[in-house]
Amino acid sequence: MDVVAGFAAGIVSWTLLEYAIHYWLGHLPKGRILISSEHLKHHRDILYFTPLRLKLRGAAPVLVGLGVLVAGLASGRIAAGYVAAVALGWTVYEVLHQTIHVRGPSTRYTRWAARHHLHHHFVAPRKNHGVTTPLWDWIFGTYQRSTRVSVRPRERAGVPWLQSARAAATPPDYLADYELR
């Protein structure tokens, strides 16, 4: 039961950590720290993703630190579930984020996630910092509803699945969420 409780707490914590990494560390420092400079590269070229070695170099101390902290406050079993959930959440985020940009939506959830996140890229970069959930955007007042995302011609190359050859694999009603100007 301790592991399950730790896992549940870790999933919720991951969503806050995701928001913090994206907004507080990715946007607010305006390129003055490594996370921010890497994130701003991604905003300039949305098909650029921080290399895996840098992601692991950043994630490892965070996961170890969280494990030590939670084990000190609770127990080793709770810490194990907690760290496993944060690591899983982080992995799901990474896969979802690349899917949004490279492959496009194929389910109702990925449809929402793509529209929500690409709204952040193309319409309102100060909004919608959560990628897996809008929870913390709602709480911190950075949520902006998006029903349709306007994509300018110079931005289209950054969304390969919106290109005509690949768009055939995306459900037509999902493509209707995007206005190609």
- Residue pLDDT tens, the chain, 181 long: 899 999 999 999 999 999 999 999 999 999 999 999 999 999 999 999 999 999 999 999 999 999 999 999 999 999 999 999 999 999 999 999 999 999 889 999 999 999 999 999 999 999 999 999 999 999 999 999 999 999 988 888 888 888 765 666 778 888 889 988 7
Burial class (CB in 10 A: 0-12, 13-18, 19+), 45: exposed
Closest residue by Cα to residue 150 from 171, 123, 170, 130: 123
Rounded to whole angstroms, the Cα distance separating 45 from 32 reads 18
What pLDDT is recorded for position 75? 94
Amino acid at 96: L
Rounded to whole angstroms, the Cα distance separating 44 from 62 reads 27
Instruction: Give SS3 for 126.
Output: coil
What pLDDT is recorded for position 84? 98
Amino acid at 122: F
| Global pTM value | 0.93
Q: Give alpha helix (H) positions in the chain.
A: 2-19, 34-44, 52-73, 76-98, 108-122, 135-140, 164-167, 172-175
What pLDDT is recorded for position 159? 87
What pLDDT is recorded for position 71? 96
